Structure 1
Amino acid sequence: MSTDADSRRQRDYVFVVNPNGANGRTGQQWKKMLPDLKSRLGKDCNIREALTSAPLHGVEIARKAVQDGAAAVIAVGGDGTLHEVLSGFFTDGKLVQPREARPGPRTALGLIPMGTGSDLARHFGWKSNDSHEAIDRLVKDQRRKIDVGRVQLPDDKIDRYFLSVASFHLSAKAGHIASMYKKFGNLCYVIGAIQAFMTHENKDLRMRKDGSQWTVIPQVTAACIGNSKYFGGGMKITPTADPFNGRLEMVTLTDFKWYDFILKLHTLYQGTHVHLDKVTTTSVQTLEVEDAENKSKGRDVYVQADGEQLGFLPAKFSVLPQELDFIL
């Protein structure tokens, strides 16, 4: 009878590294940890290094690794790298299948957090940039099936997936702007939010939850759909989200003014904003959103997932329950 170690010895662990992540620090940290990684894990598996060189390159690398029957694909970097690697596991809402049947468990997703935000790592209480802790997790190889969020945009050629939080309107626009200020660390998210508010207008949006009737939600400022708790470099935006319960937590902010944001910013980090009068929460499995005035409009309402700008409304968000093996 073969053991887990025997199975790993016959298969590959593919490490997808964004060498330019965190202003180049990810590449430097990866080089420093690689000898320790090979020493502790190399005897049980083949370590394959894959460096990304362009946007969405991580999707291609991860998809090929899964098709080749890798034991695991590990994202090395921040939430952006994880987002790309995760998307490589899926096509049309279903897991990519290996070309040939191989012994052992199916390909698992792993994470070595080295980015600016590292919000999924924060949800699990992991330390970002702690290579020893990350290697310990890979050596133990404890796997659990995790929920995956899915985003579908009519004009997008591929679906996108998330493990942390997707959002639309102000929060998504703020994330887009924040990506231009990554050199300031987590402060970039505050800068993004302030700049986004300068040209922001609350909008009436039509929403349909879990296939029910369409409802107009007036003066929406932002809405976040969480598979886990954090986004924006530590904002506890969906505080009761659980990536193992088969549902997404939705938090909607309505009729916020710029001064509301300034005065209530601290509550977003504490997760206490859900008790404010202008904030509502609900649990969903699917959510469809479009502009309330005209179905063809909404081009000024940003949509993002795991900090990555995806496009604009209309959009559909859904959850794939217990769909992916994740290394905890």
Structure 2
Amino acid sequence: MIVWSGSATAASPFINLRRSFNAESLSSSPKKNFVFVVNPMGANGKTGQDWKKLQPYLRLKLGNDYDLSEFFTTGPCQASEITRKAIRDGADAVIAVGGDGTLNEVLNGFFEEGKPVSAYGPETGCSTALGLVPMGTGSDFIRTFGWGSDPCEAVDRIARGKRSKIDVGVVTGCSGGPRYFVNVSAIHLSAKSTFYSSKYKRLGSLCYVFGAFQAFIGHKNLTFRIKVDDDDWEILEKTTTICIGNAKYYGGGIKITPNASPMSGDLQVVIFQNFEWYDFVAKLPKLYVGSHLSEKGVSVKSVQSIEIETMDQSDEIYVECDGDCIGFLPRKFSLLPRSVEMFL
């Protein structure tokens, strides 16, 4: 049975999900249950249009073997709530349909109050997998695996059913609890660029260019201190930006942490010091192919955790997580090895 349920309502955000997908129906259903969480407004509404076009192929590849449910998000953080509900009810997979932001929200739904969300009832033995149908503006996460942006290829990958455990990063020290990331988190210039890029999403991939230009206006390199793997504090002077990678790409195809992999068991930290706007322009070709690590002012660390603080408390230093600004320093970034199963 394929159930195409409607959009959530503010009064009852799970009403359609309950109707088509609940623990009682799972116990009697011989088929596996996949929940697709769709951001219809992604890529300026193109995600919703492309999703409709994909449905015949989705039915062809999965319709006979799975019970499929869709759920449209209507606001921030709703994808996480839908995901938690689906996991508790025993979903075999929750699949993000959208860009890196939608993937991040679904990923965060696999956790609550710092712990993994459990399936409904100990007798289910359910291990919910994370999936992705890329239909967003940037879709940087898929580049690490060399996947194409064709959503039909993503459906084929899900249909093959190969699941592997991947590492997940977690950011703590923020109000509202931990924030999880699967791709790249960053601070200072890169995070400020992300903040401004979000204001130009209507321009598609050009949003990253406009965001970067605006971030450079008034930017100044600052002194931070960092603590790697609970070691002693270290001072970083004239710091331009710090990127913490669980995967390789961000910003619409920049290979910022080229040694990172969500199956490596560590986070890759790339630190830029004493860079100006013209340095980034000059080195842009190297940034896109990931050959910038040997450049002057660039250093790399492989870590399990890193704490970052600003030395000047009067400065509000932006922090971003998978393309979404989540606040300011101080923060701690840690790795949760092999913590989520994903279709690969």
**Structure 1-normalised TM-score?**
0.93
Counterpart pick for 2:158 among 120, 135, 138: 138
Q: Which moved more, 1:164-173 or 1:38-47?
A: 38-47
Deviation per CA, 1:180-201: give whole Å up to 9, x if none.
1122222221221111011211
Task: Name the CA shift for 1:233/1:142 in 2 (closer, same or farther; >3 Å).
Answer: same
- Residue 274 of structure 1 corresponds to 293
C-alpha deviation, 1:270, in angstroms: 1.2
Q: Distance in 2 between matches of 1:204 and 1:221?
A: 9
Task: Name the CA shift for 1:309/1:7 in 2 (closer, same or farther; >3 Å).
Answer: farther
The alignment status of 1:162 with 2:181, answered yes or no, reads yes
Counterpart pick for 2:84 among 47, 63, 68: 63
Task: Name the CA shift for 1:7/1:79 in 2 (closer, same or farther; >3 Å).
Answer: farther
- Residue 239 of structure 2 corresponds to 220
For these two proteins, the number of residue pairs brought into alignment is 318
The alignment status of 1:151 with 2:171, answered yes or no, reads yes
Structure 2 residue identity aligned to 1:197: F
Task: Name the CA shift for 1:173/1:101 in 2 (closer, same or farther; >3 Å).
Answer: same
- Residue 256 of structure 1 corresponds to 275
CA contact (8 A) 1:9 1:46 kept: no
Q: Distance in 2 between matches of 1:44 and 1:52?
A: 25
Q: Which moved more, 1:231-240 or 1:184-193?
A: 184-193
- Residue 95 of structure 1 corresponds to 116
Deviation per CA, 1:233-268: give whole Å up to 9, x if none.
100000000111210000000111121122112221
- Residue 3 of structure 1 corresponds to none
C-alpha deviation, 1:49, in angstroms: 0.4
The alignment status of 1:120 with 2:141, answered yes or no, reads yes
Q: Which moved more, 1:174-183 or 1:219-228?
A: 174-183
- Show the 5 A alignment for 1:160-309: 160-294=179-313, 297-298=314-315, 300-309=316-325
Structure 2 residue identity aligned to 1:136: D
Q: Secondary structure at the match of 1:274?
A: coil
Structure 1 residue identity aligned to 2:232: Q
Counterpart pick for 1:81 among 102, 115, 127: 102
CA contact (8 A) 1:69 1:102 kept: no
C-alpha deviation, 1:9, in angstroms: 4.2
Counterpart pick for 1:312 among 317, 323, 328: 328
Task: Name the CA shift for 1:111/1:124 in 2 (closer, same or farther; >3 Å).
Answer: same
The alignment status of 1:46 with 2:62, answered yes or no, reads no
Structure 2 residue identity aligned to 1:304: E
C-alpha deviation, 1:101, in angstroms: 3.2
Structure 2 residue identity aligned to 1:133: E
CA contact (8 A) 1:163 1:228 kept: yes
Runs of 4+ in structure 1 deviating by more than 4 angstroms, as ranges, are: 6-9, 102-105
Q: Structure 1 unaligned segments of length 5 or more: list them.
A: 1-5
CA contact (8 A) 2:119 2:126 kept: no
Structure 2 residue identity aligned to 1:153: G
Q: Which moved more, 1:223-232 or 1:256-265?
A: 256-265
C-alpha deviation, 1:103, in angstroms: 4.8
Q: Which moved more, 1:186-195 or 1:247-256?
A: 186-195
Deviation per CA, 1:138-164: give whole Å up to 9, x if none.
11010000000101133x212111111
**Structure 2-normalised TM-score?**
0.89
Aligned-residue sequence identity (percent) comes to 50
- Residue 10 of structure 1 corresponds to 31
Q: Which moved more, 1:114-123 or 1:76-85?
A: 114-123
Q: Structure 2 unaligned segments of length 5 or more: list them.
A: 1-26
Q: Secondary structure at the match of 1:245?
A: coil
Q: Secondary structure at the match of 2:190?
A: helix
Q: Secondary structure at the match of 2:251?
A: coil
- Show the 5 A alignment for 1:14-33: 14-33=35-54
Deviation per CA, 1:78-104: give whole Å up to 9, x if none.
000001000000124321111213556
Q: Distance in 2 between matches of 1:268 and 1:184?
A: 22
C-alpha deviation, 1:131, in angstroms: 2.4
